[in-house]
Structure 1
Amino acid sequence: MVIADQLLVKKINQKVLLNEIVANSPISRARLSEITGLNKSTVSSQVNTLIEKNLIFEIGQGKSSGGRKPVMLVFNKNAGYSIGIDIGVDFINGILTDLKGNIVLDAYHPLENPSAEKIKELLFSMIEHFKNQMPESPYGLIGIGLCVPGLVNTEQKIIFTPNLDWNYGLDLKKLIEKEFQVPVFIENEANAGAYGEKVFGTAKNYENLIYVSVGTGIGIGIIINNDLYRGVGGIAGEMGHVTIDLNGHKCSCGNRGCWELYASEKALMKSLPNQHQKASHQELIHLANQNDAEILMALQNLGYYLGIGLTSILNTFNPQAIIIRNDLVEALPMVVNSIRNSISSRIYNQLENNYELLLSSLGKNAPALGASSIMIESFLEMFSS
C-alpha cells in the first residue's frame, strides 16, 4: 500500500511539473520548485524522468539572479503529432498539429452530397496523407480527434446528423482505430470549436462561455468553469433546435419553428433572390460591401434572428462571453451590429453590459484544433496515470 501511494504521488508530481513546463517553458528547475512548492530533489528527479521520456529537453542557460546561471527546460512540442478533422455538411477540414497545437499541415476538401461511405473514404485518405507527411518523432501519431455536425453520445457514436447523410450503424471510432492503430476521439463540432477557442483562441481568459457555430445548422458548445459541458448523454448544446416560432416550418429534427430555420446560413440562402441563392461567402461579402439592398436586408434579418436565440442563451447560461463562428458574421460588422441590436431590445438591463460578444479568432480551424487538442491532452494524461 505504501509503495502504491508513493507511485501515485510521483505520478501527480510529474503531471504538475509537466503542466507547468508546457505552460511556461523555458523555465528553470529552481523556478519550478518555487511555483509548485515541490522540493528541489523531487523536481530534479521528475525532470530527469521527463527528459528520459523525450517530453522535455534542456536548452542554454538563463539569466542568473546572483548565483550560477540556471539551465532552462523546454517542452518538446515535436515529441509527437496529433490529427484533428472537422467533417462539415459540405466539407472536410483537417489539420496535423504538434503537441502545442501549432498547425504543421492542413487539408480541405469540399463535399457535394456525399454518402457516409464516400466521407469515410475521403477521411481515411486525409489521415493517410497526414501520416505520410508527418515529421519523425519519438511518439509519432499520438491520436486522431474527429468532430461532426450532429449528436455524439458518451460512447462517441454518431447518433444523429440532421443536415448530413450518415449511416448510424457505422462505428467510425472503431474503424479508424483498427485502420491506424492510434486512439480516436469523436466529438460534436460545436463542442470541439468551443474547446479549440478555449485552449488556443479568443476564449483563453474566460471560464464560462458559449461558442455558437452558424453554418447549415446551428450548434453551441458550452464551457462552464473551464470544463466542456456535454450533458448526461453527451448531447447538450442543441440550441439550434429550440423553438422560436410555435407555428413555424417543420424541421428535419421533427420539431417546428427551430432557431436554425431562421438564423442559419441555410435560412439566409433561402431568403435571398434566386440569382444569389448559390452565391459563395466571398460573393455575398462583396455584394454587401457594394451596398446591395436585398443582400443587406437579408443579412440584417440573419443578425436579428441570431440575436433572438442568443438572448435565450444569455438568459439561460449567463456566460462571460459568446463567441460566434461564421465567415459572414466575422467579415461584416453590420451583421454583428444587427445581432447586438436584437439582443439589446430583449435582454435585461442587468445582463446587457455583463457579457462580451466576440468573433472566433481561429475561424474554420476552431473545431479541428479543438479535436486535436483533446487528443493531445489525453496523450499527456498518460504520463500521470
Structure 2
Amino acid sequence: MPSLGFDIGGTNLRGLQLQEDGSISPLQQQEHANEPEAIISAVSNLARAFMQKSPQKIKAIGVGCAGHVFPNGVIKSSPNLPGFLDLPLKKILEENLQTRVFVDNDANCSAWAEYRIGSGIGKDNLIVVSFGTGIGAGFILNGSIFRGAYGLAGEVGHMTVEENGRSCPCGNIGCWEQYSSGAELQRLISQNDGEGTSYEDILANFSQKIATGLRSLSHVLDPEIIILCGGITSIGAPLLKAVRNAYYESVGHRDNKKLTQIKLGTFKNEAGALGAALMALD
C-alpha cells in the first residue's frame, strides 16, 4: 500500500509519496516558520493534498523530525526547532489526518532509506550522516537501527570538536555542527567572497572538520561504510573528493582507508522523507 513520508528539518519541510510499486513521487519542499503550529499545519495540508490526489488510500504516514524523539512519537526537544518541547506530534497528526502516523528522528529515517534501498545495500554496519541546518546521524548496527538507551543515539552534531569554540543553540560550545553544517559552508563562502580563495580550497578547509567528526565516529562504531546525505551533498563529487582526502589523510590505529568506504547518499534531500515512508510500512 502507498505511504507518505515527511522530513521536518530546522529550516525546511519535505514530503513525498511512496507508491505500492516502489516508485516515488516528486519531492515537495517548502520553508517553514519554525513554529510548532505552523509546521503541523504545513504537514497536515501537504498530507491532505497527497491523499486527495492518490488513486489508492494512504494508510500510513511517516514523519522524520530533527531532535530527541521518543518511541511514542513525542518530540522531547530539538535544538534547531526550539518550540518542539514535549510535543506529541504523532497524536496531533493522527487526530488531524485520521491516519496511522509513525514518528522517528530524521537522521534515523535517512539511514533506513540508504540501508534498505540506497547506497548502503549489502552493508549491515553503516553510519549515515545528514548535513543540513545542523548535523544528525543514523546508525545501522548489525542490520538494525541503533537508538541508544534513551533514543538519543545519533545526535552527533553536538560532539565537541573545539573545546573553546562557538556557542551552539543546544547550550554547549564547540559542537561539530557549528563547523560542518550547511550553514557553516555558506558562512565560509560568504566570508571568502572577493578574497581570492578558490572554491576548491574552501571545500578542503570545510572538509577537515567534517573528517574530524567522521574519524571519531569510526573509532567508536567501526563501520563498513559512511554515507553522506543532506543538503550540502548536492555539491556532489567535489565535496566527496574533499571529504575522502581529509578523512583518509590521517593514519592512526584504525586504517580508515582499508576499512571504511565513504559514499554520497543515493537520495540526497529525499532520504529523510523516503525513510519515514518506508518505516511507516514496517
| Pairwise TM-score range, normalised by the shorter structure | over 0.9
> What is the letter of the counterpart of residue 203 of structure 2?
L
Residues 113-144 of structure 1: per-residue CA shift (max 9 Å, x gap) = 432111111111001101101113xxx22211
Give the paired residue count: 280
Aligned to 1:32: none
User: Measured at CA, do residues 275 and 351 of structure 1 come closer, stay the same or move farther in structure 2, by a change above 3 Å?
Assistant: closer
Match of 1:351 among 256, 259, 263: 256
Tell whether 2:49 aligns with 1:129. yes
Match of 2:106 among 181, 189, 200: 189
**Shift of residue 269 of structure 1?**
2.0
**Distance (whole Å) between structure 2 residues aligned to residue 340 and residue 170 of structure 1:** 39
**Shift of residue 91 of structure 1?**
1.5
Aligned to 1:157: 74
Residues 151-200 of structure 1: per-residue CA shift (max 9 Å, x gap) = 11232211121112424243111011112222111111110000011112
Match of 1:101 among 22, 36, 44: 22
Aligned to 2:274: 369
User: Measured at CA, do residues 274 and 256 of structure 1 come closer, stay the same or move farther in structure 2, by a change above 3 Å?
Assistant: closer
Match of 2:172 among 248, 255, 260: 255
User: Measured at CA, do residues 335 and 161 of structure 1 come closer, stay the same or move farther in structure 2, by a change above 3 Å?
Assistant: same
**Shift of residue 301 of structure 1?**
1.5
**TM-score, length-normalised on structure 1?**
0.68
**TM-score, length-normalised on structure 2?**
0.92
**Shift of residue 255 of structure 1?**
1.3
> What is the letter of the counterpart of residue 4 of structure 2?
I
**Distance (whole Å) between structure 2 residues aligned to residue 305 and residue 169 of structure 1:** 32
**Distance (whole Å) between structure 1 residues aligned to residue 140 and residue 77 of structure 2:** 22
Q: Which moved more, 1:85-94 or 1:303-312?
A: 85-94
User: Measured at CA, do residues 100 and 224 of structure 1 come closer, stay the same or move farther in structure 2, by a change above 3 Å?
Assistant: farther
Aligned to 2:36: 116
User: Measured at CA, do residues 130 and 266 of structure 1 come closer, stay the same or move farther in structure 2, by a change above 3 Å?
Assistant: same
Deviating above 6 A after TM superposition, structure 1's stretches of 4 or more consecutive aligned residues are none
**Distance (whole Å) between structure 1 residues aligned to residue 255 and residue 185 of structure 2:** 31
> What is the letter of the counterpart of residue 76 of structure 2?
I
Q: What secondary structure, in the 3-state scheme, does the structure 2 residue paired with 1:273 have?
A: helix
User: Any residues of structure 2 matched to 1:282-297 within 5 Å, and which?
Assistant: 293-297=197-201
User: Measured at CA, do residues 159 and 101 of structure 1 come closer, stay the same or move farther in structure 2, by a change above 3 Å?
Assistant: farther
- 8 Å CA contact 1:101, 1:369 repeated in 2: no
User: Measured at CA, do residues 193 and 294 of structure 1 come closer, stay the same or move farther in structure 2, by a change above 3 Å?
Assistant: same
> What is the letter of the counterpart of residue 189 of structure 1?
D
- 8 Å CA contact 1:303, 1:336 repeated in 2: no
User: Any residues of structure 2 matched to 1:29-40 within 5 Å, and which?
Assistant: none
Q: What secondary structure, in the 3-state scheme, does the structure 1 residue paired with 2:154 have?
A: coil
Identity value in percent: 30
**Distance (whole Å) between structure 2 residues aligned to residue 322 and residue 152 of structure 1:** 23
**Distance (whole Å) between structure 2 residues aligned to residue 351 and residue 331 of structure 1:** 23
**Distance (whole Å) between structure 2 residues aligned to residue 84 and residue 329 of structure 1:** 20
Aligned to 2:63: 146
Aligned to 1:243: 160
Q: What secondary structure, in the 3-state scheme, does the structure 2 residue paired with 1:103 have?
A: coil
Max Rg structure: 1
Q: What secondary structure, in the 3-state scheme, does the structure 1 residue paired with 2:226 have?
A: strand
User: Measured at CA, do residues 335 and 104 of structure 1 come closer, stay the same or move farther in structure 2, by a change above 3 Å?
Assistant: closer
**Distance (whole Å) between structure 1 residues aligned to residue 148 and residue 37 of structure 2:** 30
Q: What secondary structure, in the 3-state scheme, does the structure 1 residue paired with 2:213 have?
A: helix
Q: Of Structure 1 and Structure 2, which has the larger fraction of its residues in helix? A: 1
Q: What secondary structure, in the 3-state scheme, does the structure 2 residue paired with 1:293 have?
A: coil
**Distance (whole Å) between structure 2 residues aligned to residue 200 and residue 104 of structure 1:** 16
- 8 Å CA contact 1:142, 1:375 repeated in 2: no
User: Any residues of structure 2 matched to 1:1-20 within 5 Å, and which?
Assistant: none
**Distance (whole Å) between structure 2 residues aligned to residue 105 and residue 372 of structure 1:** 14
**Distance (whole Å) between structure 2 residues aligned to residue 152 and residue 250 of structure 1:** 23
Q: What secondary structure, in the 3-state scheme, does the structure 1 residue paired with 2:255 have?
A: helix
Q: Which moved more, 1:221-230 or 1:102-111?
A: 102-111
Report the RMSD for the aligned CA atoms in angstroms.
2.0
- 8 Å CA contact 1:272, 1:294 repeated in 2: no
